[in-house]
Amino acid sequence: MSAESLLALKASEAVKALYGADIAPESLQLQPTRKEFEGDYTLVVFPLLRISHASPEATGAAIGDYLAANVPEIASFNVVKGFLNILLSPVYWDELLEEIAADGDFGQLPSTGKRIMVEFSSPNTNKPLHLGHIRNNLLGDSVSRILSAAGNEVIKATLVNDRGIHICKSMLAWKKLFGGETPESSGKKGDHLVGDCYVAFDKLYKSEIAELVKGGMDEEEAKKEAPSIKEAHEMLRLWEQGDPEVRELWKMMNGWVFAGFDETYKALGITFDKVDYESENYLLGKDLVREGLEKGVFVKDPDGSVWCDLTSDGLDRKIVLRSDGTSVYITQDLGTAEKRFSEYALDSHVYVVGNEQDYHFQVLKLILSKLGFDWAERIFHLSYGMVELPEGKMKSREGTVVDADDLIFKMYAEAKATSEESGKLADVPEEEREELYRMIGLGALKYFIIKVDPKKTMLFDPKESIDFNGNTGPFIQYTHARIRSILRKAEGIEAAVAPGVIPSAKEVRLIKLLSFYPSKVGEAAESFSPSVIANYAYDLAKEFNQYYHDTRILGEPDKTLLSFRLVLAKAVATTLSKAMGLLGIGLPERM
């Protein structure tokens, strides 16, 4: 039992014994004692005055006396106004550290029996993955890991947007402008080649618009009449009719993209349990529209289009079927949600999608609710802010995005340059150094992005992320490597917690931080925020470094104390490894 749980339970018993009142332990305000006061945990007494009918000082003293007499883990207490500060005994901290060190599943929460699908990535097959996709993938992957550690069964899913006008634009540009170029003939990754086609289409399209405007046409009209856009729409029509030639080209180019995506996912350490394709799902939802019409949830306009009127809910009218009977995105999402909840018996579904789609998911949940699906409220949109660079925003059509593959390589190069400059890896064999550069670079990239609360727009600076000092991935990696080095040098020395060891204040702070880990897993899962785990790992690493700076470990002459400190160091390394593992970040054995 954690210290907070133990003290809350005993304080609840104290209130019952002293004042005859039943109060739930979880309703008591218990928090770590502030550094300027003596104590480990503080009970806020003010809310209990209505029960005690006494002054804050008298109430705190009465509860403190009861706890000191009935809880052997308590060494002493003091009362400051309405705050009861409790100091736990050395024996308690020794036993807690021993318990943490012996628990191989420390931080893995009991099973909830719930099944959760987390959908993320969901790229378009007209361009390679870029920095924005990286944030999406890292959030989706780490949230999945955290939810699993919190006792849930997690299904990692992605819906690949492999059809539509944007795909046809790349296909048309390849036919007209690329002379049969392939990934093999060009030496390019397939997704990069298709991305080049998309950028080329945009340039062609803009030049055609400019020519039409120059000839006297209105710009809006020119956008519709430009030859390339009309050809792209015709290609989409042929695709939907199953034209063999268009379908064959589509399969070939999508195959190039999928191979490229797989390479990038592998570099990022991303995997999926379920992969769906829009080309297979885009007709889903039409049956729901028919049912919705019968129920009066939807209405049909004179032109044959079908709408859901959400004005009474403070939103607007939302089209769910075009006048020609074709679906829109919301239609497909309605059908896909129904299929997934039914097929997988989901308890909830988390969509990891940027905050520009906030309104879309508000509408999706509302329509599903109106259709009578009680699970609509168990859909959660993990809305995250965009990633910007020091030089500004990225634009796919103009080819100004930061390519994911280029960024991964850049992070490797930054890690290599920084490590060589610091001389930290000078004694490591070359082959091992190369693997470390990749681990450090990727760890820096992942941590820098994940440590920011998902809701915030963030500025990504590769150089800042690779710093070996401060709140960065490499700092935590280096701390872990330092501990592993200590443990290697101590090989053969018994690591155990002997009775009677009196931990220092710094050691108590470390044990206390370690004990917080399971609750941090729960907090991160509850809020769908991996930043909780990232910043916990930093706090733990920072605390250990301060401890290491001020405390002898290997040089400690007292064998009992040395043994205790080795247990503590190993528990910190193990917990750092678990926490960073939830973020998909590897920790090296040496650096």
Q: Are residues 451 and 555 in the same domain?
A: yes
Q: Are residues 565 and 423 in the same domain?
A: yes
Residue 124 lies in a domain: no
Strands 83-88 and 41-44: antiparallel
Residue 11 lies in a domain: yes
Q: Are residues 52 and 185 in the same domain?
A: no
Q: Are residues 438 and 564 in the same domain?
A: yes
For residue 107, CA distances in Å to 389, 468, 574 come to 35, 27, 11
Q: What is the C-alpha to C-alpha distance for residues 274 and 119, in angstroms, rounded to an integer?
A: 9
- The CATH number of residue 556's host domain is 1.10.730.10
- The CATH number of residue 34's host domain is 3.30.1360.70
Q: Are residues 76 and 203 in the same domain?
A: no
Give strand pairing partners of 91: none
Q: What is the C-alpha to C-alpha distance for residues 28 and 51, in angstroms, rounded to an integer?
A: 13
Q: Is 353 helix (H, G, I), strand (E, B) or coil?
A: strand
**What are the φ/ψ torsions at residue 470 (nearest 5 degrees)?**
85, -170
In the sheet where 30-32 sits, what is the strand order? 30-32, 41-44, 83-88, 74-80
Of 207, 240, 267, the residue that ends a domain is 267
Q: Are residues 463 and 577 in the same domain?
A: yes
Q: What is the C-alpha to C-alpha distance for residues 367 and 361, in angstroms, rounded to an integer?
A: 10
Q: What's the token pair of residue 4?
A: 């907070």
Cβ proximity of 127 and 260 under 8 Å: no
pLDDT of amino acid 391: 63
Q: Which domain holds residue 73?
A: 3-88
Task: List, for residues 354-387, the tens digit of each pLDDT value.
Answer: 999 999 999 999 999 999 999 999 999 999 998 8
Q: What's the token pair of residue 69?
A: 């007499």
Q: Return the number of other C-beta atoms located less than 10 Å from residue 345's C-beta.
A: 8
Picking from 69, 93, 47, 73, the residue whose alpha carbon sits closest to that of residue 510 is 93
Q: What's the token pair of residue 590?
A: 């040496």
Q: How many domains does the chain have?
A: 3
Of 219, 251, 267, the residue that ends a domain is 267
Picking from 181, 193, 109, 105, the residue whose alpha carbon sits closest to that of residue 148 is 109
Q: Are residues 74 and 169 in the same domain?
A: no
Q: Are residues 172 and 84 in the same domain?
A: no
Strands 348-354 and 317-321: unpaired
Stretch (H or E) spanning 306:
strand 306-309
**What are the φ/ψ torsions at residue 35 (nearest 5 degrees)?**
-60, -25
Residue 103 lies in a domain: no
**Residue 34 DSSP code:** P
Task: List, for residues 124-140, the tens digit of each pLDDT value.
Answer: 999 999 888 999 999 99
Contacts of 204 by beta carbon, 8 Å cutoff, 6+ apart: 173, 176, 177, 228
pLDDT tens-place values along the chain, 591 residues long: 778 889 999 999 999 999 999 999 999 999 999 989 999 999 999 999 999 999 999 999 999 999 999 999 999 999 999 999 999 999 999 999 999 999 999 999 999 999 999 999 999 999 999 888 999 999 999 999 999 999 999 999 999 999 989 999 999 999 999 999 999 999 999 999 999 999 999 999 999 999 999 999 999 999 999 999 999 999 999 998 999 999 999 999 999 999 999 999 999 999 999 999 999 888 889 999 999 999 999 999 999 999 999 999 999 999 999 898 888 889 999 999 999 999 999 999 999 999 999 999 999 999 999 999 999 999 999 999 988 777 655 444 444 568 899 889 989 998 898 888 877 777 788 888 899 999 999 999 999 999 999 999 888 877 788 877 889 999 999 999 999 999 999 999 988 998 889 999 899 999 999 999 999 999 999 999 999 999 999 999 999 999 999 999 998 999 999 999 999 999 999 999 999 999 999 999 988
CA atoms within 13 A on the CB side of 423: 0
Stretch (H or E) spanning 185:
helix 183-186
Give strand pairing partners of 403: 130
Residue 292 lies in a domain: no
Q: What's the token pair of residue 255?
A: 């195959």
Give strand pairing partners of 327: 321
Residue 370 lies in a domain: no
Cβ proximity of 535 and 476 under 8 Å: no
Picking from 343, 229, 341, 242, the residue whose alpha carbon sits closest to that of residue 283 is 242
Q: What is the C-alpha to C-alpha distance for residues 44 and 54, in angstroms, rounded to an integer?
A: 14
Q: Are residues 84 and 170 in the same domain?
A: no
Q: What is the C-alpha to C-alpha distance for residues 317 and 319, in angstroms, rounded to an integer?
A: 7
Residue 392 lies in a domain: no
Q: What is the C-alpha to C-alpha distance for residues 234 and 4, in angstroms, rounded to an integer?
A: 66
For residue 432, CA distances in Å to 8, 177, 419, 428, 437 come to 49, 44, 13, 7, 9
Cβ proximity of 343 and 130 under 8 Å: no
Residue 144 lies in a domain: no
Tell me the Ramachandran region of residue 393: left when phi exceeds 0, alpha when psi lies from -120 to 50, beta otherwise. Answer: beta
Of 46, 65, 88, the residue that ends a domain is 88
Cβ proximity of 114 and 348 under 8 Å: yes
Residue 437 lies in a domain: yes
Q: Are residues 430 and 572 in the same domain?
A: yes
Task: List, for residues 75-101, the tens digit of each pLDDT value.
Answer: 999 999 999 999 999 999 999 999 999
Q: Are residues 83 and 187 in the same domain?
A: no
Cβ proximity of 484 and 573 under 8 Å: yes
Q: What is the C-alpha to C-alpha distance for residues 591 and 587, in angstroms, rounded to an integer?
A: 10
Give strand pairing partners of 156: 118
Q: What's the token pair of residue 147?
A: 């939810």
Q: Are residues 543 and 435 in the same domain?
A: yes
